[in-house]
A and B are shown apart, each in its own frame.
Chain A
Amino acid sequence: QSVLTQPPSVSGAPGQRVTISCTGSSSNIGAGYDVHWYQQLPGTAPKLLIYDNNNRPSGVPDRFSGSKSGTSASLAITGLQAEDEADYYCQSYDSGLSAYYVFGTGTKVTVL
């Protein structure tokens, strides 16, 4: 079961800014472990979008940015585009459970 909590859905018009929250606990995000984000387009495998809280792999547009504070993190998408419509998952490391890698519940981003 998911240990990190995300809103089920967010939406925005093209060009707008949307943010997705990711709330953890003292055994994962709050323990200092970094947060990573994945984008899953419909019918495809997840793809690394942000690593170590705010770093983008090569090829990921700078419209995507991440931040972390305390036991939470967030992903921001600025200048929303139709191709950004996808599911987004946060992920961290957890020292309190035997599930070393924990994922968020997932957020569906809809472009209106």
Chain B
Amino acid sequence: EVQLVESGGGLIQPGGSLRLSCAASGFTVSSNYMSWVRQAPGKGLEWVSVIYSTGNTYYADSVKGRFAISRDNSKNTLYLQMNSLRAEDTAVYYCARGTVYFFDYWGQGTLVTVSS
């Protein structure tokens, strides 16, 4: 059974850093396209970043240069390093497994709140 469990969210001050983790089971992270998608409170879904099975990484303009996606194959875990956080980064962050074009499994999400 495919499972994705995010962790690492919390309250952080503007300008701070946070690392989110997504532990996967039932499949191999490194063989799949893995993304982070976020949802601000009461708002819609916004794609954040993807790492391909090749290791190539891509980012939405809103986070480019501040966020970094990575994976640890030995732990079968996906990460999102978030630096220079802003109030507008406040959201529930979901990790999702996918294909090149869509997302077939989602985690339960972890809440990141950026506030002083």
What residues make up the interface of A, taking CB atoms closer than 8 Å to B?
Answer: 1-2, 33-34, 36, 38, 44-48, 51-52, 57, 89, 91-93, 97-106
| CB pairs A–B below 8 angstroms (7 shown) | A34-B102, A45-B106, A45-B108, A52-B101, A89-B45, A91-B45, A100-B50
Whether the pair B107, A45 counts as a contact (CB closer than 8 A) is yes
For A36, give its contact among B60, B102, B106, B107 (CB under 8 Å).
B102
Q: Which residue of B lies closest to A91 (CB)?
A: B102
Interface residues on chain B, size class: 20 to 34
In angstroms, how far is the closest chain B Cβ from the Cβ of A46?
Answer: 5
Contacts of B37 in A (CB 8 A): 46, 101
Expressed in whole angstroms, the minimum distance between the Cβ of B36 and any Cβ of chain A is: 11
Q: Evaluate contact between B101 and A36: CB separation under 8 angstroms.
A: yes
Complex CA–CA separation, A57 to B100 (angstroms): 17
Kindly state the separation between the CA atoms of A101 and B101 in the bound complex, as whole angstroms.
7
Please indicate the chain B residues that have their CB under 8 angstroms from the CB of A1 in the complex.
46
B107/A100 in contact, CB under 8 A: no
B103 and A48: CB pair below 8 A? yes
The smallest C-beta distance from B113 to any residue of chain A, in angstroms, reads: 17
Q: Contacts A36-B101, A48-B104 given; indicate if A103 touches B44 (C-beta within 8 A).
A: yes
Give min CB distance, A42 to chain B, whole Å.
Answer: 12
| Complexed CA–CA distance, A20 and B34 (Å) | 28
On chain A, the residues within 8 Å of B102 by CB distance are 34, 36, 48, 51-52, 91, 101
CA distance A69 to B50 in the complex (A): 28
Given the known inter-chain contacts A36-B101, A45-B107, A91-B102, please indicate yes or no for A102 contacting B44, CB distance below 8 A. no
| CB-CB under 8 A for A105 and B104, given A98-B60, A98-B64, A100-B50 | no
In the complex, A72→B107 CA distance in Å? 29
Chain B positions within 8 Å of A45 at CB level: 94, 106-109
Closest A residue to B103 by beta carbon equals: A48
A50 to chain B, nearest CB (A): 10
